[in-house]
Amino acid sequence: MTAQAKSPKRQTGTTYHDELAAIREELDKCMKCGNCMAVCPVYGAEKVEPAVTRSKIAVAEAVLAGELELDDPQVYEMMFNCLVCKSCMTNCPTKVNFDRIMLALRAALVRKNGLPWLKKMIFSTLKHPTLFDTGMRLGAALQGLAFKSEADGRAISPRAPFARVGGAIGFDGERQMPALNATPLRDRVDEVVRVEGAVMKVAFFTGDSLNYFYPETGRDLIEVLTANKIEVHIPKAQSCCGVPVLVHGDVDTARALARKNIDTIEATGCAYLITGCGSCGGAWQHDYPELLAADPVYGPKAANWARRTCDVSTFLTRIIALRPPTGRIERTVTYHDSCHLKKSMKVAAEPREILQSIPGLTFREMAAPDACCGSGGSYVLTHFETASTIGRKKAEDIERTQADTVSTGCPACMMQLLDNVHRVGGRQQVTHFISLLAESYRREKKDPDSGR
């Protein structure tokens, strides 16, 4: 960590993260037309006005007017009953940046009352990567006590005594989730994966989910890049993107993580930053420049990296020309648009193009592919009932396609889909789209004539 990054107070100006009144302009844009009701997943599940975006804006207005207190438990509760999925923003005629309103409210709450002790405890570990890393490894080692392995070996579900106490937050006996890996991705691969005749070098920002929960997916992503003659840098010093703490109002930690990640990636000297997670990519494209807007040193750096960050699918199909895969994959695949990938990074066509380029693969759209799956990071833990109502609808839409595989571009969605597909009795395998491409490339080697 550089000396500068150690001091979060060093920033000279303020942003909406530091000053609640800065979002007044966003609040003013809201006409209360209610278009957000058509797409808000929380409203769709709960069917009451306090669940929907425009009512949260009305409450924010009441807070700014001094009619409601920010730390009133009801205000607090309503504020956190939001997935920050940005669906409302895609349907808003006046383009209210509701994500900023929500982040500003949560940050203001933390400024007023401090982080609740539980969050403080969790997030303070994120500030110290080694401690966090140890915790995740420890979790991987101990998970066998609380969780039993499912038949396919990749999924686990809570064992009986833990399922009883965990039921309230969704850790009942039915829950499936990915196993924590004893060896995280960044420990499995070299910091630089070279390839003969490389045409470009890129940095891969793994994020925590690919590092700890889905290291195979991360490895597939690296494999696909090298198959396209791209040298991949995976610096071990990179940390969490900061979105999980930012959405809980911990602006200081989010800024510290942003600065540290910028330094780490900048040191690689790469031209592009590649992500395989909509939330991580969205952080680099939008949150970092906004968080650091008033920082004379890191602000311009963040803006620069925002332009050079792209999802792996965008990189493969828009920056370089994807080497067409020839390995046949006989599968029927549907695709779920991750909210942050589509609504924040505006990536929707690229993963579909990649899937449709795979020989043998039948692509089938589900109804409302960009409807939120209900994950929202920790939302699924804090609001399990609403999250599963949302997730069940998604799983039913998946089931109706009769696909055998559901792909997506975000590890958090993969976790939620895994759990909900299982709950409705679906048999779909849940995978990142990049893994299907990697599989096709691997088949080429096994069967050179495949697909021709």
Give residues 243-262 in contact with another protein (rule: CB under 8 A).
none
Q: Which is nearer to another protein, 32 or 164 (CB)?
A: 32
Number of residues that bind another protein (CB under 8 A): 27
Phi and psi, residue 197, nearest 5°: 70, 30
Q: Which of 49, 190, 353, 385 binds another protein (CB under 8 A)?
A: 49
Cβ neighbourhood burial of 117 (10 Å; 0-12, 13-18, 19+): exposed
3-state SS of 140-186 is HHHHHHHEEECCCCCEEEECHHHHHHHHHHCCCCCCCEECCCCCCHH
21-40 binders of another protein (CB under 8 A): 28-29, 31-35, 37-38
CB of 52 to another protein, least distance (A): 8
Query: Least CB distance from residue 73 to another protein, whole Å?
Result: 9
168 binds another protein (CB under 8 A): no
Query: Residue 208: which of 185, 232, 178, 183 has the closest Cα?
Result: 185
The two tokens of residue 224 are 């696909």
Among the listed residues 13, 21, 48, 187, the single contact to another protein using CB under 8 A = 48
Measured from the CB atom, the residue of 37 and 221 that comes closer to another protein is: 37
Residue 47 phi/psi, 5-degree rounding, is 55, 35
- Using the minimum distance from each CB to another protein, give the nearer residue, 311 or 397: 397
Q: Which of residues 88 and 189 has its CB atom nearest to another protein in the complex?
A: 88
| Cβ at position 413, least distance to another protein in Å | 24
DSSP per-residue codes, 417-432: HHHHHHHTT--PEEEE
50 is an interface residue for another protein by CB under 8 A: yes
Minimum distance from CB of 34 to another protein (Å)? 4
Q: What share of the chain is helix, strand, coil (3-state, %, to 5)?
A: 55, 10, 35
Interface with another protein (CB under 8 A), residue from 6, 95, 128, 445: 95
CA neighbor of 57 nearest in space, from 100, 90, 87: 100
The least distance separating another protein from the CB of residue 53, rounded to whole angstroms, comes to 11
| Binding window for another protein (CB under 8 A); candidates: 41-49, 206-214, 325-333, 394-402 | 41-49
Residue 385 is a binding residue for another protein (CB under 8 A): no
CA pair distance 110, 70, nearest whole angstrom? 10
- Smallest gap, in angstroms, from Cβ of residue 69 to another protein? 10
Instruction: Determine the interface stretch with another protein among 48-56, 165-173, 181-189, 226-234 (rule: CB under 8 A).
Output: 48-56
Which residue number, 106 or 260, has a Cβ lying nearer to another protein?
A: 106
Is position 94 an interface residue for another protein (rule: CB under 8 A)? yes
| Residue closer to another protein, measured from CB, 77 or 353 | 77
Q: Which is nearer to another protein, 37 or 395 (CB)?
A: 37
User: For residue 58, which of 34, 19, 32 has the smallest C-alpha distance?
Assistant: 32
Q: How far is the CB of 31 from another protein (least distance, A)?
A: 6
Of residues 63-82, those binding another protein (CB under 8 A): 67-68, 72, 74-75, 77-78
Task: Write the interaction track for another protein spanning residues 277-306; mark x where CB under 8 A is met and - where it is not.
Answer: ------------------------------
Q: Is 55 or 314 the residue whose CB approaches another protein more closely?
A: 55
**HEC readout, 290-306:** HHCCCCCCHHHHHHHHH
The string of DSSP codes covering 65-129 is TTSS-TT-HHHHHHHHS-----HHHHT-TT---HHHHHHHHHHHHHHHH---HHHHHHHHHHHSH
Query: Between 75 and 316, whose beta carbon lies closer to another protein?
Result: 75
The residue length of the chain stands at: 452
The CB-of-368 to another protein minimum distance in angstroms stands at: 11
Nearer to another protein, 82 or 185 (CB): 82
SS (H, E, C) 36-70: HHHCCHHHHHHCCHHHCHHHHHHHHHHHHCCCCCC
CA distance 87 to 227: 35
- Taking the C-alpha atoms of residue 325 and residue 22, their distance in angstroms, rounded to an integer, is 49
The nearer residue to another protein, 371 or 437, going by C-beta atoms, is 371
- Residues engaged in binding another protein (CB under 8 A): 28-29, 31-35, 37-38, 47-50, 55, 58-59, 62, 67-68, 72, 74-75, 77-78, 93-95
